[in-house]
Amino acid sequence: MDARITVLPGDGVGPEVTAQAVACLSAVGERFGHRFEFQEALIGGAAVDATGDPLPEATLAVCRSSQAVLLGAVGGPAWDGRPRHQRPESGLLRLRQALGLYANLRPVAVHPALEDASPLKPEIVRGTDLMFVRELSGGLYFGEPRSYSDQAAVNTLPYTRAEIERVAKVAFELAAGRRRNLVSVDKANVLETSRLWRQVVEDLAPAYPGVKVQHAYVDSFAMALITRPRDFDVVLTENLFGDILSDEAAVLAGSLGLLPSASLGGSVGVFEPIHGSAPDLAGQDRANPIGTILSAALLLRHGLDLQAEALALESAVDRVLQGGHGTGDLKGAIHPHGTRSLGDRIREAI
């Protein structure tokens, strides 16, 4: 197939990690006979510096004209003092909303070679294989009214049945194709929005009779995720709870740098690592490219519907990790490479 892929390197380590993922995508394309055309565009602080806008209209147009978007990371202290609409993060949030990306998939699997890289005991993390489905275009992130003054501030947490239903369906469908176990996380003992969340999940459950559904309160789930991660399969959450819990879950895998994400729901998906721009590592060839490379695999699977190609890329990453290669963020018996050198190994393993 021919496919146009937009690459948004962003800030900090973003350009370094996306470069490795692009190289891997090209290698997959060569091996499977596809022609991937890459077009770069600006987002985040890089876009603010160049245009004053963290999501220039031109970037959005390029994204819309492509089949999928690969993103690095945005943000950094350089833009801390800016007003809200000139903050790198607001470019990312506007991109998610403009493209209608309501479902954020964050797989967290513990690689056998990295059972000892986590601060948790190996016997706790071994075999963990989670799929977070985070609602991405609603809730506190976008709720109106919102206001800020020196004396008082307000944010609003709204959810409609339709917003919950569409993301819950994604979670149910993923669960049906996995271990048929869905945990929906909320704070229904306090929040009305969580009561509705729980109700909508309950109402959908009969349509997926093979899927076992549980509900958990976000506080006690934050604990269960660490004490018994293997008990869970698909984890469905609203926007902010998913932000917190999926970062927390990264400790299971051993490093935030390993974890990919896919943001779906509109006509074009965005695929990005869950780590940030890590300004302190930028330009040092030290960032872990695996989170972005695995995001590229999700791009193949969910963005271009290329299943064998996605598996080929994931299996290349697997074999390189199994061989004891990684970056400095991974503890344990791992040979630490630079970003480029690790990317090269993965590309060669495809």
Ligand X SMILES: CC(C)[C@H](C(=O)O)[C@@H](O)C(=O)O
Residues that bind ligand X (CB under 6 A): 75, 89, 92-93, 189-190, 219, 243
For the question of residue 141 being annotated catalytic, the response is: yes
Q: Min. distance of Cβ 122 from a second copy in angstroms?
A: 9
**Closest CB to ligand X among residues 89, 173:** 89
Q: Which does 267 bind (CB under 5 to 8 A by kind): a second copy, ligand X, none?
A: none
The alpha carbon of residue 101 and the mean position of all alpha carbons in its chain are separated, in whole angstroms, by: 12
CA angle 165, 167, 170 (to 5 degrees): 110
Q: Is 71 in the site for a second copy (CB under 8 A)?
A: no
Q: Is 9 in the site for a second copy (CB under 8 A)?
A: no
- For residues 158-175, one letter each, b for 16 or more C-beta atoms within 10 angstroms of the residue's C-beta and e for the rest, the string is ebeeebbebbbbbbbebb
**Which residues ranging from 123 to 182 are in contact with a second copy (CB under 8 A)?**
124, 140-141, 146-148, 150-161
Q: Are the CB atoms for 24 and 346 separated by under 8 Å?
A: yes
| 287 marked as binding residue | yes
User: Among candidates 274, 255, 297, which has minimal Cα distance to 24?
Assistant: 297
For the question of residue 318 being annotated catalytic, the response is: no
For the question of residue 247 being annotated catalytic, the response is: yes
| 89 marked as binding residue | yes
First vs last Cα of the chain: how many Å apart?
Answer: 18
Q: Which does 347 bind (CB under 5 to 8 A by kind): ligand X, a second copy, none?
A: none
User: Among candidates 97, 170, 172, which has minimal Cα distance to 136?
Assistant: 97
Q: Which does 119 bind (CB under 5 to 8 A by kind): a second copy, ligand X, none?
A: a second copy
Amino acid (1-letter code) at residue 7: V
| 134 marked as binding residue | yes
Instruction: Say what the alpha-carbon torsion angle 16, 21, 27, 33 is, to the nearest 10 degrees.
Output: -140
Q: Which residues contact 90 (CB under 8 A, 6 or more apart)?
A: 54, 55, 84
User: Among candidates 163, 147, 226, 233, which has minimal Cα distance to 197?
Assistant: 163
Q: Within 10 Å of residue 89's Cβ, how many Cβ atoms?
A: 16
| 238 marked as binding residue | no
Q: Is 281 in the site for a second copy (CB under 8 A)?
A: no
DSSP calls for 273-317: ESS---GGGTTTT-S--HHHHHHHHHIIIIIS--HHHHHHHHHHH
User: Among candidates 228, 286, 236, which has minimal Cα distance to 257?
Assistant: 286
For the question of residue 212 being annotated catalytic, the response is: no
Q: Which does 282 bind (CB under 5 to 8 A by kind): a second copy, ligand X, none?
A: none
**Closest CB to ligand X among residues 189, 227:** 189
Catalytic residue among 116, 129, 247, 318: 247
For the question of residue 219 being annotated catalytic, the response is: yes
Q: Are the CB atoms for 79 and 92 separated by under 8 Å?
A: no
Catalytic residue among 203, 219, 231, 305: 219
**Closest CB to a second copy among residues 158, 283:** 158
**Closest CB to a second copy among residues 57, 80:** 80
Give the residue numbers of the binding site: 76-89, 96, 106, 134, 219, 243, 247, 276-288
Residues engaged in binding a second copy (CB under 8 A): 75, 87, 89, 93, 119-121, 124, 140-141, 146-148, 150-161, 187, 189-193, 195-196, 199, 218-220, 222-223, 226-227, 240-241, 243-248, 250-251, 256, 276
Catalytic residues, which ones?
Answer: 141, 187, 219, 243, 247
